[in-house]
Structure 1
Amino acid sequence: MNYIPCMITIGNFICGLLAIHSLLYHNIHSAVLFIFTGMFLDFFDGMAARKLNAVSDMGRELDSFADLVTFGVAPAMLAYSVALYTLPSIGILCALTYSICGMLRLSKFNIEQSKLPTFIGMPIPFAGMCLVILSFTYNPILLAIGTCGLSYLMVSKIKFPHFKKHAAENLESGRWN
């Protein structure tokens, strides 16, 4: 039973890879579907780990790798594929900056913040969802500005509520029936 949370996390990682694969074949809608499916799996892997008493350092690292692919690389590639490509140098720079800031955010979280009651900096799954939604404005300038803003928010010192932890606690305690 201890392997179940890791399998859910690997499912998240596979969703990120399939989103990227979809983008290589210009299938935007499949990419979005895979990113959202990855988000669903990301929500439940930690809850499953706590429920099955299978929380581990390896699970935390796997979760970060999966999140980097599904919410860091795939949304950046989506934004580039949808509109940022029309801004040749700026567009690729924005996409790269977003992915790098996501990587920095995840590393910082694992080292300093995983036990805190709030997030310091925007969590990468939330930033990824914002970037997916922002991509459908189809406005390259607005998307470039939004991508840079999300990049900054991920590495900022701004506090964000820990929605995932509170939601998992409510589900586990039966408060959401």
Structure 2
Amino acid sequence: MNIIRIIKVPDIATIINALLGVSAIFMAILGNVTLALIMILMSCIADGLDGYLALHLESSQIGKYLDSLADAISFGVAPAIIIFTIYGPEYRLLIVSVLLFYITCGILRLARFDTKQSKIPDFEGVPITASAVMLSSYLLMSPQYVHPYILIFLLVLLSLLMITTYPYPKLRGTRLLLPISVIFGLVIISAAISHDYAPMFAALLFLLMALYLESPIMQIPRKYYRD
């Protein structure tokens, strides 16, 4: 099987997702945490794009597996390495243990998703992409609001929610996608050009993701996410 010939347009977006995740790791190692977090958010956009293209264009045989590999890199390993570069020297064993737990739960979440034979209306557990968005937006907030123990709590919470069976809606409705997309763009642009407004936009994105995190408890109608 010629791997190049079977690649379709959605797969290109998936590969971009993975490359952005790897680039985020490189930036974190070089000490540019802000740029690394921006690349995580850009990976999320690429992930959403490959999902959209897969719905409207021809998908390849390897698309589903390629997507999970890219997500594991960009939303599992990359955020963990970024966080380790910030807090690893001080918290060592604690932060390493929590980050390994996060990666493990993320991989399990992706593996479970790949085993689903039929399309389901909701996700089982929080998507790993949403977890990465929440972590990235939190780290981009003003320093006075970012505390290592809050971050550790958030990591444990997201890890557990990823492996639960709580139903989380697939974000397809313009009513929610539009404001999230706008805030995504504002966070990326402001963080890349000027840090003055980035924390504010990051806080807005974090609050939106917090609402999504609570959706199974709040019983928000699925129509809101899809219309």
TM-score (norm 1): 0.86
Matched residue, 1:93: 97
Q: Closer, same or farther in 2 for the Cα pair 1:40/1:106, shift >3 Å?
A: same
Name the CA distance, whole Å, in 2 between partners of 1:160 and 1:121.
Answer: 6
In the alignment, is the contact (CA less than 8 A) between 2:68 and 2:110 conserved in 1? yes
By how many angstroms is 1:15 displaced? Answer: 0.3
In the alignment, is the contact (CA less than 8 A) between 1:78 and 1:135 conserved in 2? no
By how many angstroms is 1:57 displaced? Answer: 3.8
Name the CA distance, whole Å, in 2 between partners of 1:57 and 1:107.
Answer: 17
Matched residue, 1:49: 54
| Alignment gaps of 5+ in structure 2 | 1-5, 179-227
By how many angstroms is 1:75 displaced? Answer: 1.1
Name the CA distance, whole Å, in 1 between partners of 2:114 and 2:21.
Answer: 20
By how many angstroms is 1:61 displaced? Answer: 0.6
Matched residue, 2:151: 143
| One-letter identity of the residue aligned with 2:151 | L
Name the CA distance, whole Å, in 2 between partners of 1:61 and 1:11.
Answer: 15
By how many angstroms is 1:16 displaced? Answer: 0.4
By how many angstroms is 1:79 displaced? Answer: 2.0
| One-letter identity of the residue aligned with 1:70 | S
- Is 1:107 the counterpart of 2:111? The answer is yes
TM-score (norm 2): 0.68
Name the CA distance, whole Å, in 1 between partners of 2:133 and 2:117.
Answer: 21
**Per-residue CA distance 1:17-47 (angstroms, 9 max, x = gap):** 0001111111101101111111111111121
| One-letter identity of the residue aligned with 1:118 | D
By how many angstroms is 1:50 displaced? Answer: 2.3
Superposition RMSD in Å: 2.2
| Alignment gaps of 5+ in structure 1 | 172-177
Match of 1:5 among 6, 10, 13: 10
In the alignment, is the contact (CA less than 8 A) between 1:31 and 1:78 conserved in 2? yes
Matched residue, 2:127: 123
In the alignment, is the contact (CA less than 8 A) between 2:8 and 2:60 conserved in 1? no
Name the CA distance, whole Å, in 2 between partners of 1:27 and 1:65.
Answer: 24
- Is 1:17 the counterpart of 2:22? The answer is yes
SS of residue paired to 1:97? helix
By how many angstroms is 1:131 displaced? Answer: 1.4
SS of residue paired to 1:83? helix
Number of aligned pairs? 167
Name the CA distance, whole Å, in 2 between partners of 1:42 and 1:114.
Answer: 21
